[in-house]
Amino acid sequence: MVLNRRGYLQIPQGTEGFYLDEAYRHKKLTAEVEQLLYLWGYLPVQTPVFDYYDAYAALLSEDEARKIYRLIDRDGDLLMLRSDVTLFLAKQMGMILRRDDLPMRVCYADTILRHQNREDISKNEFFQTGVELIGPDTLDADLEVILLLRRTLQQIGAPLYYIHIGSRALFNAGFDQADAAVGARLRRAIVLRDMQELSAECTQLGISTARSRALQQLFSYIGDATGLSVLANSLRSELQAAELRQIERLQQLYNTLNEADDSGSYRIDLSEIGSQSYHTGIVFQAYVDGLDASVAAGGRYDRLYGRFGLDTPAVGFSIMLRKLQDDAAVDARFTPQISEAATGRTFVQRFRDAEARRRAGGSATL
C-alpha cells in the first residue's frame, strides 16, 4: 500500500503545480501583464478546458497531434484537452463574433496541457499569456502586436532580449510547389538552419542549383533591413516577384518598428518561419539572454478563423511568463512582501494595528 501511494506522489507529465512564493510571483506578473494589455484595449477571454478533437484534427501536424491528451466523454465523443489557446480561441471567437464586431482585441492567461518528453521538461510551458488582434490584415496590425510584445517584456523587467522577425508568407512564396510532407521537411531544415538538408530538398523539388543557393542564403539571414536589402539585390535574379514583395514588406515593418521604438530590440531573421501549421504571414520569437528557449512566439494566421465560421485574419502572440519569472531581475520585482505580526494586547487592538499597517502599504497578519 505504501509503495502504491509513493507512485501517486509523482505528477503526470504535461502538467505542473507551483506554490507559495513561486505562485505569488506568477500571479503578480500575470496581473501586471494583463493590466498592460487592458491599457492597449485588449479584453480578456477564457477558453474551455476541453473541446471536440475532430474540430481541430485537420489543423494539427502529426507531431502536434501526438502531444495532445485525448479523452472520451460519456456519450462516446472524442475530446482533447486545451493544448494551444490560439486554436481554442479561434473556434470560440469564430462562433460568436460578427463582422461588425471587428476589429476585436482579446487577451488570455490560461493553462495548457500537452505531453512533453521527460527530457524536454525544462522547456515545458503549461501557462500561456497572450493577445490576438482579430480582423485587420494590415501592416499596422502586425506592428501593434510586435510593439505590444516589446512593451510587455519591458513592463515585466525582462533582461536583455531581442525579437526576431521572419515571414511564413516568404516561405510560402518560395516553396509554393511543395506538398504538405515536403513543406514540413523544408520548414524543419530552415528552422534548424540546416542548409545541407535544405539544399537536398531543393534538389528533390527540381530547383536549380543557383536558386537553391539563393534560398539558402536568404533563409539563413539575420540582421537589419539594410543588410537584407543588400542581400536581396545580390540575389534578385534568382528570386521571384512574390518573394521580393514579402521582403519589401518585412523591410517596411522593420523600419517602422525602429522609427516607433529605437530600443534596438528587433532583428530580421528569415529562419523564423513559424512553428504552427496555421501561420500565414509575419512570425516572430523573443529571445532572452541566458534562457535556453524563446520566451514568446507569435505571428499572423489569416485562415484559421475561417475554419470556424468567421473568415477573418488575425495576428497575435503568446508569452511564456514562467520562463521569465525565475530571472533574478524579474524575481526581485515580484517577491512577496514580508508580513509583520500586528501588535496589541487584545484582538481588536491587533486588528486595528494591522489595518493601519495595511493602509500604509504594508502586509500584516493577525
Question: Residue type for 239, please?
Answer: L
Give the shortest CB-140-to-another protein separation in angstroms.
23
Nearer to another protein, 139 or 160 (CB): 160
Q: Is 62 in the site for another protein (CB under 8 A)?
A: no
Q: Is 233 in the site for another protein (CB under 8 A)?
A: no
Query: What distance in Å separates the CA atoms of residue 31 and residue 28, rounded to the nearest whole number?
Result: 5
Give the shortest CB-297-to-another protein separation in angstroms.
11
Decide if 149 contacts 280 (C-beta within 8 A). no
Nearer to another protein, 333 or 350 (CB): 333
Query: What distance in Å separates the CA atoms of residue 230 and residue 235, rounded to the nearest whole number?
Result: 9
Give the shortest CB-315-to-another protein separation in angstroms.
21
> What residues numbered 166-205 form the site for another protein, per CB under 8 A?
192-194
Residue for cell digits 463574433?
97
Decide if 80 contacts 53 (C-beta within 8 A). yes
Give the shortest CB-192-to-another protein separation in angstroms.
6
User: Helix or strand or coil: residue 362?
Assistant: coil
Residue 100: DSSP 8-state: G
Nearer to another protein, 183 or 223 (CB): 223
| Choice from 289, 311, 326, 340 touching another protein (CB under 8 A) | 289
Q: Is 294 in the site for another protein (CB under 8 A)?
A: yes
| Backbone Cα Rg of the chain | 24
> What residues numbered 213-232 form the site for another protein, per CB under 8 A?
217, 220-224, 226-228, 230-231
| Choice from 35, 46, 111, 117 touching another protein (CB under 8 A) | 117
- Binding residues for another protein, rule CB under 8 A, total 38
Decide if 128 contacts 241 (C-beta within 8 A). no
Q: In which region does residue 290 sit, left (phi positive, over 0), alpha (psi from -120 to 50) or beta (all else)?
A: left
Give 46-81 as a 3 state SS string: CCCCEEEHHHCHHHCCHHHHHHECEEECCCCCEEEE
Give the shortest CB-267-to-another protein separation in angstroms.
8
Name the site residues for another protein (rule: CB under 8 A).
Answer: 117, 119-120, 122, 154, 160-162, 164, 192-194, 217, 220-224, 226-228, 230-231, 263-265, 269-271, 285, 287-294
